[in-house]
């Protein structure tokens, strides 16, 4: 999620990512007896086996409006209760009142992200504002608020303990924070704001998707591709072939973009691709600049209406940081600790480029940094990440990913080809609580890029199971990535960075799938956003451990493990330019907080963001730099990571510190893994995050482990 969702059989042949047209023909080709039996609108009562093969765009409006009415009736039942109020007839009903609506909208929103069509987008856009307004209106219902207050005063409510007590307190706090105590005019204005935010954030996301898909760079002469790894050249040739074109086709999706910016000798092409990526959705009909300004204006008004100084104060009250001051202090403190290393790294790179005797005209530019950094890394460590790619065939990575979870947490993961999916490349799996034991969850894995699928990597949930009478209702979730696809008869061979991305998203998925909570609203990943990255980021550590890599990192042709010399080079290079990478993340965090605390709403928002982020960049940005216009973490939903992007570095502190237990007691220790599962993964938001963390570590977190892991623990010597 960082800005940058039994073991499968051996790979016997590559599966090429399919186009949308192929997807439709695939669905038509499924024999009727094999298709999921659905006798009504499939979105009205979505089963665990979601019938993706039956869902059409025309189902959306009818289903959502009926489900909205059903959810409204559930809330009315709470409001109209005549008998004495109890947990079961008030809070329990509230916990499940919108469940079917959430599931249907989750499915539709997911399909719009991974299998978008004009018809589906139109249907989704038509209902999303109304649904958002409904959710925003829940805390504004006077009858519902009175019911909660009435229940909170009962003897039963005052004697609640554990998750139920926390749910009551958090619900009352959330209602207050979202306008329950406003007058009628204030409540109506909040409803209007919510509807407009839903429309704007949807438009923002779709502008990014469309502008990303609109770009292609065709190269006819292979000589212009000097420096590119053969894997990237082959992928570009295949991408052109898939479009019935001659030559080599490059896009803005990561598997195409990153090799160009890292290896391609042709500076003009690097610049063109870099500029295209960093100016997405910043001009023309897809210009997100005005969209961002309006989103920020509405968020500021929303916060003021609710009695908060700014949007950050509103958001952070329910996070681990609690206050804007704490978040700002965290970013500032880490920046000051990193700055000397960052300056040293920048000076060292400049010196290295100068010594090459081929300094780029006009000095280093942003599109040069990755290219020359890679050359410097090779010179320092004799290490090229492409050397690792043959050891990370997709099937082996999946086996290693699942085996890591199985060894740590005692689960059993098996493929389930019977679950319907939304695309032929998507695979489904089941998670059991050990061999032959209870079914805990199922999940989908959608791994390769497609034009109708948004970029990046993410995890999401469809169904959040709960514990009821000792029985655990299974969870259903998904992971999505955009890793290097297979080419011809060769399996998908991933970079090490792509492997860590898969482990990261699977960590989120495990947080969801291993949850054992009796309150749906507090289950799984429904935790503070500066805590939610701990289960995901800690999983990345196993991608660097020899004992873990030996379980899955084998050469796709010879089955040989990673050679010791190559592994040692990889470890030595791990800390290379760690300060620059840290400053990049801190720049995102800083601009996020600045936009939601300091931005006046009058100046050019893209220029404002550029000036903030420049302080964290190793080279000057051009005047049209507009990364903010595609920053979906902040603007693709009403809240998302807005005023909370610092969470990534915050959680890195937690994950580096927590991993020290595995390092000291065994990276595959079942005892430590069991404690991490029981004390953190299973607990959801049933206790304060710091309480959960201390239950696992026995103390509060320390920054020391992260600084040591990044090589930033000792002040660097002055650059020569």
Question: Greatest CA separation found in the chain?
Answer: 85
- Locus of tokens 């492409």: 386
- CA distances, 32 to each of 26, 29, 53, 54, 420 (Å): 13, 9, 11, 11, 13
Residues 6 or more apart from 542 whose CB is under 8 A from it?
404, 503, 548, 667
Tell me the C-alpha distance between 197 and 123, whole Å.
Answer: 18
Q: Detail the DSSP E strand segments found in 416-554.
A: 427-432, 439-446, 458-463, 467-468, 471-472, 475-480
Catalytic residues: 505
Are 211 and 280 in contact by the 8 Å Cβ rule? The answer is: yes
**SS3 state at 327:** helix
Sign of CA dihedral 556, 561, 566, 569: positive
Find the DSSP H helices in 382-442. 394-409
Give one DSSP letter per residue of 648-711, joined into a string. HHHHHHHHHHHHHHHHHH-TT-HHHHHHHIIIIITTTTSS-HHHHHHHHHSS---SHHHHHHTT
Tell me the C-alpha distance between 354 and 270, whole Å.
Answer: 20
Sign of CA dihedral 147, 149, 150, 153: positive
Tell me the C-alpha distance between 702 and 184, whole Å.
Answer: 47
Tell me the C-alpha distance between 62 and 60, whole Å.
Answer: 6
Give one DSSP letter per residue of 629-659, joined into a string. GG-HHHHSSSSTTTTTTTHHHHHHHHHHHHH
């Amino acid at each position: 999620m960082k800005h940058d969702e039994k073991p499968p059989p051996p790979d016997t042949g590559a599966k090429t990512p399919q186009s949308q047209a192929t997807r439709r023909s695939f669905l038509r080709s499924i024999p009727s007896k094999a298709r999921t039996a659905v006798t009504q609108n499939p979105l009205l009562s979505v089963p665990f086996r979601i019938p993706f093969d039956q869902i059409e765009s025309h189902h959306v409006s009818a289903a959502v409006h009926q489900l909205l009415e059903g959810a409204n009736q559930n809330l009315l039942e709470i409001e109209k209760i005549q008998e004495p109020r109890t947990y079961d007839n008030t809070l329990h009903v509230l916990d499940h009142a919108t469940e079917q609506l959430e599931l249907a909208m989750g499915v539709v929103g997911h399909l719009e992200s991974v299998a978008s069509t004009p018809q589906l987008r139109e249907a989704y856009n038509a209902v999303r504002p109304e649904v958002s307004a409904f959710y925003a209106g829940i805390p504004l219902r006077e009858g519902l608020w009175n019911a909660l207050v009435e229940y909170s005063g009962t003897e039963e409510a005052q004697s609640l303990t554990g998750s139920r007590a926390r749910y009551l307190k958090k619900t009352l706090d959330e209602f207050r924070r979202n306008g329950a105590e406003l007058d009628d005019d204030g409540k109506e204005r909040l409803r209007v704001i919510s509807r407009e935010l839903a429309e704007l954030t949807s438009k923002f996301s779709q502008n990014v998707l469309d502008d990303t898909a609109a770009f292609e760079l065709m190269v006819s002469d292979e000589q212009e591709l000097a420096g590119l790894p053969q894997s990237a050249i082959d992928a570009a040739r295949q991408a052109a072939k898939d479009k019935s074109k001659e030559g080599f086709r490059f896009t803005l999706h990561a598997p195409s973009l990153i090799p160009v910016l890292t290896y391609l000798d042709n500076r003009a092409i690097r610049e063109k691709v870099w500029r295209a990526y960093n100016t997405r959705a910043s001009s023309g009909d897809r210009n997100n600049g005005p969209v961002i300004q309006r989103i920020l204006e509405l968020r500021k008004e929303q916060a003021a209406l609710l009695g908060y100084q700014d949007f950050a104060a509103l958001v952070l009250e329910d996070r681990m940081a609690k206050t804007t001051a704490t978040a700002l202090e965290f970013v500032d403190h880490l920046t000051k600790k990193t700055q000397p290393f960052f300056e040293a790294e920048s000076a060292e790179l400049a010196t290295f480029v100068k010594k090459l005797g081929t300094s780029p005209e006009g000095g280093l530019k942003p599109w040069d940094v990755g290219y020359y950094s890679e050359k410097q890394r090779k010179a320092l460590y004799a290490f090229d990440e492409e050397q690792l790619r043959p050891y990370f065939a997709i099937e082996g990575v999946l086996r290693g990913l699942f085996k890591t979870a199985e060894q740590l947490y005692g689960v059993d993961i098996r493929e389930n080809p019977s679950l319907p999916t939304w695309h032929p490349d998507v695979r489904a799996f089941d998670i059991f609580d050990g061999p032959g034991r209870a079914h805990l969850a199922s999940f989908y894995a959608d791994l390769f890029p497609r034009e109708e699928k948004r970029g990046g990597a993410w995890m999401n949930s469809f169904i959040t199971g709960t514990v009821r009478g000792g029985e655990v209702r299974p969870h259903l979730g998904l992971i999505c990535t955009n890793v290097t696809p297979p080419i011809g008869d060769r399996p998908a061979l991933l970079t090490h960075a792509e492997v860590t991305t898969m482990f990261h998203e699977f960590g989120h998925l495990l947080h969801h799938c291993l949850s054992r909570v009796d309150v749906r609203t507090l289950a799984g990943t429904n935790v503070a956003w500066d805590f939610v990255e701990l289960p995901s980021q800690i999983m990345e550590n196993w991608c660097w451990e020899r004992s873990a890599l030996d379980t899955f990192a084998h050469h796709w042709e010879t089955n040989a493990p990673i050679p010791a010399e190559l592994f040692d080079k990889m470890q030595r290079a791990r800390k290379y330019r760690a300060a620059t990478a840290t400053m990049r993340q801190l720049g995102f965090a800083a601009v996020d907080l600045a936009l939601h605390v300091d931005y006046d709403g009058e100046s050019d928002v893209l220029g404002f963001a550029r000036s903030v982020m420049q302080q964290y960049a190793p080279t000057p940005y051009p005047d049209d730099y507009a990364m903010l216009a595609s920053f979906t973490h902040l603007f693709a939903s009403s809240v998302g990571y807005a005023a909370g992007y610092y969470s990534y570095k915050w959680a890195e502190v937690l994950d580096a510190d927590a991993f020290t237990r595995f390092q000291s007691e065994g990276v595959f220790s079942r005892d430590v893994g069991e404690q991490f599962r029981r004390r953190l993964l299973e607990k959801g938001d049933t206790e304060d995050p710091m309480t959960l963390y201390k239950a696992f570590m026995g103390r509060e977190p320390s920054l020391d482990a992260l600084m040591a892991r990044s090589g930033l623990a000792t002040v660097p010597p002055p650059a020569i």
